[in-house]
Homo-oligomer: A and B are copies of this chain.
Amino acid sequence: MKRACITGGAGFIGSNLTDRLSANGVEVVIFDDFRTGRREFVAEALGRPGVSLVEGDVLDVALLQEAFEGCDWVFHLQANADVRRGLDHPRRDLEQNTIATSNVLEAMRANGVSRIMFSSTGSVYGEPELFPTPEDAPFPVQTSLYAASKLAGEGLIEAYAAGYGFTGLICRFVSILGERYTHGHVFDFFCALKRDPTRLRVLGDGRQEKSYLYIGDCISAILTAAEHHHDEPGAHIYNLGTEETVVVDDSVKIITEHLALSPDIEHTGGRRGWTGDSPLILLDTARIRELGWQPTLTIEQAIARTLEWLDSSDYAWREQLVGGVPS
């Protein structure tokens, strides 16, 4: 890998990948519109030789084409990640996740770039009956617009792999935690407790089991798979996660203990936190482990690391406290 473009390169995962690739001597083009990406996350990286920025929208194919010039990989991490509120704006997932992915693929094809890594999601499994859920689980039924739009992106990449000889690395993530984490339920609980330390509202019955992965481990897994398949066109699909889950109420406990608070906990009830929420997420990660990768942090350690980062980076959440409940 010599030169890579990272769409969403100023976001949570993208900026961490930027740092790692740049440290490994890879030239990095950060492509971001800073809608959710943050300038603070890439300020340092942009001071290093070989790191550059193209500021713009993934719906702008000409600009994507410019950004991909001379790259041997595209890491397509840009996405609408507002999983929970998909039903409030049903076209957004289609545009930001599906059409944007088509644009990226077309811009690659125009430039002769044929290696793409795509950030998909464990939620493409819908509500699986098989745990841990393997990559070839029974053909799922989609339960959210977010997952449906990501599945559509996967399908496009697979078709480009079959039809144009692309190398398509599809990573189905669990929720990722760690430095620069700025959305998701640990973030929401943290902000809610900063706003009102006496009570905490938990969506669902609090018994939902979620799997998480530490951002540093996520980046290592992506690069392990990318290096492994560098010269192997085709579609390569990997679950990325840990082999454990944490119950929502237990992660609440970790957070309240970290903050030394004893809020009243209110559960909104129901097995799902919202329509499309999965009561249990646990991915089978045997495939990525076979490449020699393994996570270095447990979920509890990853939550602790996240809370430490939030403590030290109030620019990342202070503004959230103004506009009401962020969940």
Interface residues of A (CB under 8 A from B): 86-87, 90-91, 94, 98-99, 102, 105-106, 109, 125-126, 135-145, 147-149, 151-152, 154-156, 158-160, 162-164, 235, 237, 275-276
Which residues of B lie under 8 Å from residue A90 when comparing CB positions?
102, 105-106, 109, 160
- Please judge, given known A-B contacts A99-B94, A106-B91, A155-B148, whether A162 and B142 are in contact too, CB under 8 Å: yes
Assess whether A237 is in contact with B106, with CB atoms less than 8 Å apart.
no
Q: Quick one: given A102-B91, A163-B86, A276-B163, are A139 and B141 in contact (CB under 8 Å)?
A: no
Question: Interface majority SS on A: helix, strand, loop or mixed?
Answer: helix
> Which of B91, B141, B156, B237 interacts with A235 by CB under 8 Å?
B141
Query: 9 A-B Cβ contacts within 8 A?
Result: A90-B105, A91-B102, A137-B139, A141-B237, A143-B159, A144-B162, A148-B156, A148-B159, A162-B276
Chain B minimum-CB-distance residue to A148: B155
Is the CB–CB distance between B141 and A138 below 8 Å? no
Question: Among the listed B154, B158, B162, B275, which residue makes an inter-chain contact with A163, where contact means beta carbons less than 8 Å apart?
Answer: B275
- Assembled-state Cα–Cα distance A126/B145 (Å): 23
Verify B158–A155 contact, CB threshold 8 A. no
- Per the bound structure, the CA–CA distance linking A91 and B152 in Å amounts to 13
A151 to chain B, nearest CB (A): 5
Contact A139 B140 (CB under 8 A): yes
A98 touching B138, Cβ below 8 Å: no
- Kindly provide the distance from the CB of A59 to the nearest chain B CB, expressed in whole angstroms: 13
Contact present for B94 and A164 (CB under 8 Å): no
CA distance A109 to B90 in the complex (A): 11
Q: How far is the CB of A86 from chain B (nearest CB, A)?
A: 7
Complex formed: what's the CA distance from A142 to B235 in Å? Answer: 9
* B164/A142 in contact, CB under 8 A: no
Given the known A-B contacts A99-B99, A106-B90, A151-B152, are A162 and B143 also in contact in the complex, defined by CB atoms under 8 Å? yes
How far is A149 from B91 in the complex, measured between Cα atoms in Å? 16
Once the chains bind, are B164 and A143 in contact (CB under 8 Å)?
A: no
Which residues from chain B contact A148 at a C-beta distance below 8 Å? Answer: 152, 155-156, 158-159
Docked Cα-Cα span, A190 to B83, in Å, equals: 50
B residues less than 8 Å from A141 (CB atoms)? 158, 235, 237
Cβ contacts under 8 Å, A149 to chain B: 155
Residues of B near A94 (CB, < 8 A) are 98-99, 102, 156
Chain B's closest residue to A102 (CB) is B94
Task: For A143, list chain B residues within 8 Å (CB).
Answer: 158-159, 162
Question: CA separation between A159 and B138, bound complex, in Å?
Answer: 18
Residue of B nearest to A106 (CB): B90
> What residues on B are CB-neighbors of A158 within 8 Å?
126, 141-143, 148
Nearest 3 pairs between A and B by C-beta? Answer: A148-B155, A152-B152, A142-B158
> CA–CA, A143 to B91, complex, Å?
26
Q: With A and B bound together, what is the CA distance between A109 and B87 in angstroms?
A: 12
